[in-house]
Amino acid sequence: MNSEELFLRSKQVVPGGVHSPVRSFASVGGTPVFFREANGAYLKSVEGKDYIDYCLSFGPLLFGHRHPEIQEIVEDTVRRAWSFGACEPYSLELAEFITSRIPWVEKIRFVNSGTEAVMSALRVARAATDRSKILKFDGCYHGHLDQLLVKSGSGLAGLSSSDSKGIGPEIIQNTLVLPLDDEKALEELFQTQGNQIACLIIEPIPANYGLLPQRTEFLKKCRELTTKYGVLLLFDEVISGFRVSFQGMAGITGIVPDLVCYGKIIGGGFPVGAYAGKKDLMDLVAPSGPVYQAGTLSANPIGMRAGLKTLTKAWNENPYPELETKTKKLTSGIVKLLTESGDSQWEAVTYGSLFWLKAKTKEPIRTIANIPADHKVKFATFFHKLLNHGVYLAPSGYEVGFLSTVHTDEIIEATLNKTMKALQEEK
Ligand SMILES: *Cc1c(COP(=O)(O)O)cnc(C)c1O
Region 260-283: mean pLDDT is 98
> Closest residue (by CA) to atom 5 of ligand 1?
114
What the chain holds in terms of domains, given with CATH numbers, is 3-62+319-426 (3.90.1150.10), 68-317 (3.40.640.10)
pLDDT at 153 over 80: no
Quote the pLDDT of residue 427. Answer: 55
Segment 347-368, tens digit of pLDDT: 999 999 999 999 999 999 999 9
Residue 143 Cα to ligand 1 middle (Å): 5
Give the active site residue among 133, 136, 264, 326.
264
Question: Please, which pLDDT band fits residue 115 given cuts at 50, 70 and 90?
Answer: very high
Q: How far is it, in rounded angstroms, from Cα 216 to Cα 222?
A: 10
pLDDT at 92 over 60: yes
Q: Which residues contact 278 (CB under 8 A, 6 or more apart)?
A: 104, 106, 107, 258, 259
> Closest residue (by CA) to atom 15 of ligand 1?
239
> Closest residue (by CA) to atom 13 of ligand 1?
238
Is the shortest distance between the CB of 114 and ligand 1 below 6 Å? yes
Give the active site residue among 42, 54, 141, 351.
141
Question: Please, which pLDDT band fits residue 18 given cuts at 50, 70 and 90?
Answer: very high
Neighbours of 229 (CB within 10 A): 17
Residue 237 Cα to ligand 1 middle (Å): 9
Residue 202 Cα to ligand 1 middle (Å): 12
Instruction: Check if 151 is active-site.
Output: no
Residue 157 Cα to ligand 1 middle (Å): 26
Region 334-351: mean pLDDT is 95
Region 382-403: mean pLDDT is 97
pLDDT at 155 over 60: no
Max Cα distance, the chain (Å): 66
Q: How far is it, in rounded angstroms, from Cα 93 to Cα 160?
A: 41
Quote the pLDDT of residue 425. Answer: 85
Is the shortest distance between the CB of 115 and ligand 1 below 6 Å? yes
Instruction: Check if 264 is active-site.
Output: yes
pLDDT at 39 over 60: yes
Angle at 406 between CA 320 and CA 243, to 5 degrees: 30
The average confidence (pLDDT) of the chain is 96
Q: Is the pTM of this model over 0.95?
A: yes
DSSP letter, residue 351: E
Instruction: Check if 236 is active-site.
Output: yes
The closest-lying atom of ligand 1 relative to the alpha carbon of residue 58 is 1
Is the shortest distance between the CB of 209 and ligand 1 below 6 Å? no
Q: How far is it, in rounded angstroms, from Cα 385 to Cα 426?
A: 9
Is the shortest distance between the CB of 237 and ligand 1 below 6 Å? no
Residue 173 Cα to ligand 1 middle (Å): 23
Is the shortest distance between the CB of 141 and ligand 1 below 6 Å? yes
β-strand 35-39 against 259-262: which pairing, if any?
unpaired
β-strand 346-351 against 354-359: which pairing, if any?
antiparallel
